Amino acid sequence: MTSATRLPDPSQAQGPRHVAVIMDGNGRWAKARGMPRTLGHRAGVNALKRTVEAAPDFGIECLTVFGFSTENWRRPVAEVSDLMGLVKLYVQTDLDRLAREGVRVRVLGRRTGLPADIAEIVERAESKTAHNSRFLLQVAFNYGGQADLIDAARRFAEEVAAGRAAPQDLDEARFGSLLSTAGGPPLDLVVRTSGERRLSNFLLWEAAYAELVFQDVLWPDYGPEALAEAVAEYRSRERRFGGVAAGPHDALAAG
Ligand code: IPE
Ligand code: IPE
Ligand code: MG
């Protein structure tokens, strides 16, 4: 492993420090209750509040949640504007509390294409909490892993074209520093709710060595109990990062 790769210390027994959540199943939750999808998304915002509140109790330092993907524009116009409205609502009702509680909010994803009022809210949430360091909440909004990789590649290509970098300067650390997650802790765990087992274009680079946990719970039902289960599952895993397990084999080899 080169010193350039930012991987966590495999010896750490506890953790996770950084958890990413694909908050899925709002629509199915609403459908099961004979309610419109909107109400599922609304209930999903409450689940997000519960989860953000509970995360520090598990030693989690950073939570990255998938709020809207670059592919979610394919949904009906009404649902798209509904999801945009919810971000507004979340920020309007929770920003003061988050700021007070030491949470730094960071929004990942492309700003171009966002309605002006949403872009403004996103910027306000970031600037109002920029000085906080107790907990990092990253909201992936208009985010796609592939789009983020392309944006990073373009930025590096521009550096090369301007004569400020050479192609051989590019390594994992440099590339990682061009992604929207730059500067945050390495990703330890990706959780997806609702029983779907795929990444749906979330954190493609960052998830290289993250543990994946899939839970059947629908996102609006998520909270401290479900998070505790995901953390327990994570702690039962052995992370090797391509190396070999520390254990009896080492003792044999040494002895
Ligand atoms: C996740 O719930 C919320 C977002 C994509 C923003 P869905 O809306 O995808 O719910 P399902 O998958 O249809 O149940
Ligand atoms: C992923 O969920 C995006 C978010 C949770 C914001 P989707 O529901 O959009 O993903 P697919 O379409 O099932 O892959
Ligand atoms: Mg879904």
Q: Is 184 helix (H, G, I), strand (E, B) or coil?
A: coil
**Is 142 one of the catalytic residues?**
no
Ligand 2 pocket test: pick from 21, 22, 203 the residue with the most ligand atoms within 8 Å of its Cβ: 22
At 14 the pLDDT is 86
* Spatial separation of the C-alpha atoms in residues 111 and 116, rounded to whole Å: 9
- 179 contact partners, CB below 8 Å, separation of at least 6: 148, 149, 152, 205, 206
220 lines ligand 1 (CB under 6 A): no
- 244 contact partners, CB below 8 Å, separation of at least 6: none
DSSP 109: S
Q: How confident is the model at residue 10 (pLDDT cuts 50, 70, 90)?
A: very low
Confidence check: pLDDT of 216 > 80: yes
- Tally of CB atoms within 10 A around 127: 10
Confidence check: pLDDT of 225 > 50: yes
Q: Mean pLDDT, to the nearest integer, of 123-137?
A: 97
Token output for 144: 């796609």
- 30 contact partners, CB below 8 Å, separation of at least 6: 36, 37, 38, 39, 40, 41, 43, 220
Q: How confident is the model at residue 13 (pLDDT cuts 50, 70, 90)?
A: low
Confidence check: pLDDT of 248 > 90: no
Which residues form ligand 2's pocket by a CB distance below 6 Å?
A: 22-24, 66-69, 72, 196, 198, 200
Q: Relative to the CA of 79, which ligand 1 atom is closest? A: 8
Q: Mean pLDDT, to the nearest integer, of 197-214?
A: 98
67 close to 96: Cβ distance less than 8 angstroms: no
* Spatial separation of the C-alpha atoms in residues 102 and 207, rounded to whole Å: 26
At 246 the pLDDT is 75
Q: How confident is the model at residue 158 (pLDDT cuts 50, 70, 90)?
A: very high
Confidence check: pLDDT of 3 > 50: no
Q: Which protein residue has the closest C-alpha to ligand 1 atom 12?
A: 25
Taking the centre of ligand 3 as the mean of its atom positions, its distance from the CA of residue 171, in whole angstroms, is 34
Q: Mean pLDDT, to the nearest integer, of 117-141?
A: 97
Write out pLDDT tens, residues 162-179: 999 999 999 999 999 999
Taking the centre of ligand 1 as the mean of its atom positions, its distance from the CA of residue 26, in whole angstroms, is 5
Report the run of H or E that residue 71 belongs to, with start and end.
Answer: none
